[in-house]
Amino acid sequence: RLNIKKITTGSKSLDDLLGGGIETKTITEFYGEYGSGKTQICHQLSVNVQLPPERGGLSGKAVYVDTEGTFRWERIEAMARGLGLEPDQVMDNIFYMRAYNSDHQVSIIDDLFTFVPKNDVRLVVVDSVTSHFRAEFPGREHLAERQQKLNAHLHQLMRLAEAFNIAVVVTNQVMARPDVFYGDPTTAVGGHVLAHTPGVRIQLRRSKGNKRIARVVDAPHLPEGEAVFIITEEGIRD
Ligand code: ADP
Ligand code: MG
């Protein structure tokens, strides 16, 4: 755990739950149902990593690997403005990469082993890490093969995080009702995808209005508990 750095989420309460923020040298998984805030947090971290250390950032750039086509530059602009940053400059410091299938997603990450050190990248986002694998290996009959490929991909991401002391953040959409999908552990609410990979798992749930609840799962070095945060036009806040 030497030389680990942290990136603020924008919410003091969520940062406290995480022991100060999202850590480098590891994978952080945000999992939760549709609309729970996974993509908004990924956008926010891509902005916040650019902040200087005294404001909770790493003065670094972000790579955003988008597998679902849900990335929005307008959200980056709004979040940059919310922090008093120059939106054009913030957008220039985010390398957007669209992954069209799981093989493409894996090859993008392979290429990052040369791209990251050359470009001052301190955060890599994969939103979501699971969607292509699920679409390409559907049903219980492909579950073992899918998990094997996904685990190899997650180990690749872990090596990237460790090799360059960067933060890797992945998302995973799970079912609102795990009882109707009992055949597949990775889509159940309790079934995060990092089961066989070290890392920090955070479950997100919707609450009233713009409120969201985060819970750290299976993290021996973090206290048990929950954090409440909100999603505003300007981004993630308390
Ligand atoms: P997930 O990726 O978990 O499916 P998102 O991160 O896309 O969910 O969260 C979507 C939610 O974020 C919306 O339901 C809305 O509550 C909030 N949101 C998105 N854009 C804005 C905005 N411009 N202003 C305020 N809230 C927003
Ligand atoms: Mg999303």
What ipTM is given for this predicted complex? Answer: 0.99
Smallest CA separation from ligand 1 atom 19, residue: 40
Mean pLDDT to the nearest integer, 217-228: 86
- The residue whose CA is least distant from atom 11 of ligand 1 is 35
Res 139: pLDDT: 82
Instruction: Find out whether 23 and 9 touch, Cβ atoms under 8 Å.
Output: no
In the predicted structure, residue 179 carries a pLDDT above the cut 60: no
pTM of the model: 0.95
Query: Residue 191 above 70 pLDDT?
Result: no
Ligand 1 mean position to 231 CA, how many Å? 7
Q: Residue 209 has what pLDDT?
A: 96
Say yes or no to pLDDT of 188 above 60.
no
Any ligand 1 atom below 6 A from CB of 35? yes
Q: Which of 28, 56, 26 is nearest to 236 (CA)?
A: 56
Determine if ligand 1 sits within 6 Å of the CB of residue 92: no
Q: Which amino acid is at 115?
A: F
Read off φ and ψ for residue 19, nearest 5 degrees: 75, 25
Q: Is the CB of 38 under 6 A from ligand 1?
A: yes
pLDDT at 168 exceeding the cut of 70: yes
> Would you say the CB of residue 231 lies under 6 angstroms from ligand 1?
yes
pLDDT of the residue at 185: 55
Q: What share of the chain in percent tops pLDDT 70?
A: 91
- C-alpha span between 178 and 194 (Å, rounded): 17
